[in-house]
Amino acid sequence: MIDTILHILVPIAIFTFIAAFTLFAVYAERKIAGFVQDRLGPMETGKYGSLQTIADILKLLQKELITPSLADKILFRIAPVIIFVAVFTGFAVIPWAKDFIPANTHTGLFFIMAIISIDALGILMAGWGSNNKYSLLGSMRAIAQMVSYEIPVGLSLITVVMLTQTLNLNEIAIGQGILTNGSIKFLGFWEVNEIGGFFAWNIFQAPHLIVTYIIFFIATLAECNRAPFDIPEAESELVGGFHTEYGGIQFAFIFLAEYAMMFLVSMLGVVLFLGGWNTPLPNIGAIRLADWTTGLAWGIFWTLAKSLFIVGIQMWIRWTLPRLRADQLMSLCWKVLTPLAFVCMAISAIWRILIIA
Amino acid sequence: MEIILFYAFAVLAIGSALLLVNLKNIARALFLFFIVLFAMAGLYLFALADFVAITQIMVYVGGVLILMLFAFMLSNKELLKDLKDSSGTFLSMPRWQAIVLSLGFLILMIFGIREWQQSPPTWIQQARENNTEIISTDNNIQQIGLRFMTFYVLPFEVISVFLMMALIGASHLSRKERDR
């Protein structure tokens, strides 16, 4: 009985968190955009415009649900739900702190990869169901991009998994801090089990993982359809991309899914490369900084802080770099990222055989 | 609770499969196909085959289905009209052949149910006695990996060569012809 209640409570908690995060992130995004473009951003509603996103969501919730008369009504209605649920389900297997994870499965990472691919289907559903050429074009672009960029993402994940030897995200996170049972070696030679901190993170355990993380970061930006890879929703060419016809709460759900996806891939990157919930502070002799800052509350704090930092970088990039053309986008994926990811994978295999084992 | 979920998935799979073959709208049929595949993945979970379930979603939903949708959206309407009245094309079968096929499957299934013993097979009982039984919380992926590289290494390599051939063929077909 308690299990069942927990199974209901945990998704509600995560949903509440995603909703709150989206409200906060939209505000942050507009403020960062304002900062980058040398203006103030939202200032009218509340102190420094802090109530702006709450006002926005209240407006969206009150709006009438309009379905275009020639749209495929069933697909049009279902699409936002599928898009959101696909991303939302991904949160089920990501750890927040040691053993503080909604579903501790051995297939965690594989599950996330599979479930995110359903997102593409929802986008195609939305584009086709709207019966609008801009929507269809937008969704076709989005799918072409997501399917292509899934390859560098998958390869960079394999690169990490080759070293960690597990798909369980909880165990991957444990293996990057002072709580591990195995041995951790900074750059492959200096044992740092006692010291912990950022020395024990995956990207510092094997230096080629730094390259892999950059590949992963760029490819996941494209997976989220964020700038500079936002041709699927290029406002100047396609009105609004695949969600042109959506309004009200349906649009809110698509928007929620986009921000949830941003947070999901940031969190995934943090767990795989940046130590997950492990503290960045090392033990220095008698000053046990790592021991002091490890625990349930600290774990949640570090996960949140690192993920929000990565989300911040995503926003910074969005407002700094111009949009890539479709052919540039594809050649970046197939001619730069994919071969590089393959090279990293090969290095990982050699590293595993020669240095770890 | 588990039984309710099992039957929910089963009804979802069978119901949407039935609806799928009766639907005239190909786009909706393809999206229904997604539901069928997803429900099948759910059913695999009840057989403790979580890896197979996830692979099903990854390969079929993330790959095959998206490709099918792409092919459908890039093909012109004339082509689709031909598909719609399928009585003349080579894919459709006269009724009696379909009846023979489905009767064959029915006989196969009845035979399977008659042969099925209520108790688990001997190799499972043996594993239970030796405490080598694999349960749902075990790390199945490690087992799968070990098996792939030891017992099933030949089929595994054959499949990888086959996939390699498919990849080379695809890149050859899509390559631009050089000007002569």
- The residue among A241, A254, A228 whose CA lies nearest residue A138 is A241
Instruction: Pick the residue from chain A with its C-alpha nearest to B51.
Output: A107
Q: Which residue of A has its CA nearest to B58?
A: A114
Q: What is the pLDDT of residue B34?
A: 86
Is B108 part of a structural domain of the chain? no
Residues whose CB is less than 8 angstroms from the CB of residue A148 and which lie 6 or more positions away in sequence, other chains included: A222, A330, A333, A334
Question: Does B94 lie in the same domain as B5?
Answer: yes
pLDDT for the residue numbered B160 = 93
Predicted pLDDT at A296? 83
Among the ranges given (A13-27, A162-176, B31-45, B65-79), the one the predictor scored with the smallest mean pLDDT: B65-79
Considering A150-159, A287-296, B23-32, B116-125, the range whose residues carry the highest mean pLDDT is A150-159
Q: Which CATH number does the domain housing residue B45 bear? A: 1.20.120.1200
Cis (ω within 30 of 0) for the bond into A228? yes
Torsion of CA A89, A326, A216, A300, to 10 degrees: -40
A74 touches chain B (CB under 8 A): yes
Residue range A195-222: mean pLDDT, rounded: 86
- Domain match, B60 and B6 both: yes
Q: SS3 for A191?
A: strand
Answer for the pair A271, A169: CB distance below 8 angstroms, yes or no: yes
Mean pLDDT of A162-178: 85
Contact A150, A117 (CB under 8 A): yes
With a CB cutoff of 8 Å and minimum separation 6, the contacts of A18 are: A88, A91, A256, A259, A260, A263
pLDDT band at B82 (very low <50, low <70, confident <90, very high): low
Query: Angle at which helices B66-74 and A133-164 pack, to 10 degrees?
Result: 150
Residue B38 falls within a domain, yes or no?
yes
Portion of chain B with pLDDT greater than 70, in percent: 86
Q: What is the pLDDT of residue B161?
A: 95
- Whether residue B28 is contained in a domain is answered as yes
Q: Is residue B105 part of a domain?
A: no
CA-closest candidate to residue A40, choices A53, A27, A57, A54: A27
Segment holding B121, helix H or strand E: none
What pLDDT, on a 0 to 100 scale, did the predictor assign at position B163?
92
What's the whole-number mean pLDDT along residues A18-26? 89
Residues 6 or more apart in contact with residue B143 via CB below 8 angstroms: B134
**Count of C-beta atoms within a 10 Å radius of residue B47:** 9
**Chain B residue at shortest CA distance from A126:** B31
Q: Is B31 within a domain?
A: yes
Residue A172: closest CA among A162, A112, B141, B49: A162
Distance CA(A175)–CA(A349), nearest Å, equals 18
> Best interface-test mutation with B: which of A74, A83, A118, A335 has the largest number of B CBs within 10 A?
A118
Torsion sign (Cα): B61, B62, B68, B70? positive
Report the pLDDT value the prediction gives residue A245, as an integer from 0 to 100. Answer: 79
- Band (A170; pLDDT cuts 50, 70, 90): confident
- Is A105–B65 a contact, with Cβ atoms under 8 angstroms apart? no
In a domain, B107, yes or no: no
Give B32's Cβ-side CA count (13 Å radius): 19
Q: Is the pLDDT of residue B179 over 70?
A: no
Q: Determine the pLDDT at residue B81.
A: 61
Give a yes or no: residue B164 inside a domain: yes
Last-in-domain residue among B68, B98, B128: B98
> How would residue B176 be classed by pLDDT, with cut points 50, 70 and 90?
confident
DSSP track, A277-346: TS-SPPPBTTB-HHHHT-SHHHHHHHHHHHHHHHHHHHHHHHHHSPPPPHHHHHHIIIIIIHHHHHHHHH
What's the whole-number mean pLDDT along residues A166-179? 84
**pLDDT value of position A276:** 81
Closest-CA residue of chain B to A106 = B139
User: How confident is the model over A48-70, as pLDDT tens digits?
Assistant: 888 888 888 888 888 888 788 87
- Whether A1 has its CB under 8 Å from any CB of chain B: the answer is no
pLDDT value at position B154? 93
- In the predicted model, what is the mean pLDDT of chain A? 85
Residues B171 and B89 in one domain: no
Confidence of residue B1 (pLDDT cuts 50, 70, 90): confident
**Residue B114 counted as domain residue:** no
Domain that holds residue B157: 139-180
Domains identified in chain B, total number: 2
Q: pLDDT band at B136, cuts 50/70/90? A: low
Q: Is there a single domain that holds both residue B166 and residue B93?
A: no
Model confidence pLDDT, tens digit, residues A262-313? 999 999 999 998 888 888 888 877 777 777 777 788 888 888 999 999 999 9
Strand runs labelled E in A98-169: none
How buried is A307 (Cβ within 10 angstroms: 0-12 exposed, 13-18 middle, 19+ buried)?
A: buried
Give the number of other CB atoms < 10 A from CB of residue B105: 10
Integer Cα distance of A185 and A91 in angstroms: 30
| High-pLDDT (> 90) share of chain A, % | 13
Determine how many CB atoms are found less than 10 A away from the CB of residue A250: 24
User: Do the beta carbons of residue A193 and residue A118 sit within 8 Å?
Assistant: no
Task: Quote the pLDDT of residue A234.
Answer: 67
Q: Which of B51, B66, B73 sits opposite A120 (nearest CB)?
A: B66
B135 neighbors A106 (Cβ within 8 angstroms): no
Say what percent of chain A tops pLDDT 70. 98
pLDDT in tens, A78-104: 888 888 998 888 888 888 888 788 888
A125 contacts in B (CB within 8 Å)? 31
Q: What is the 8-class DSSP label of residue B95?
A: H
Partner A contacted by B51 (CB < 8 A): yes
Residue A248 in this model has a pLDDT that exceeds 60: yes
A210-222: average pLDDT: 91
* Partner residue facing B66 (CB), from A74, A121, A167: A121
pLDDT band at B164 (very low <50, low <70, confident <90, very high): very high
Asked if pLDDT for residue A259 goes beyond 70, the answer is: yes
For residues B143 and B93, membership in a common domain is answered with no
B149 and B87 belong to one structural domain = no
Shared-domain flag, residues B91 and B160:
no
B9 and B94 part of one domain: yes
The pLDDT, as a whole number, for residue B93 is 57
Instruction: State the average pLDDT over residues B84-105.
Output: 68
Claim to verify: residue B8 and residue B65 sit in the same structural domain: yes
* Co-location of B93 and B148 in the same domain: no
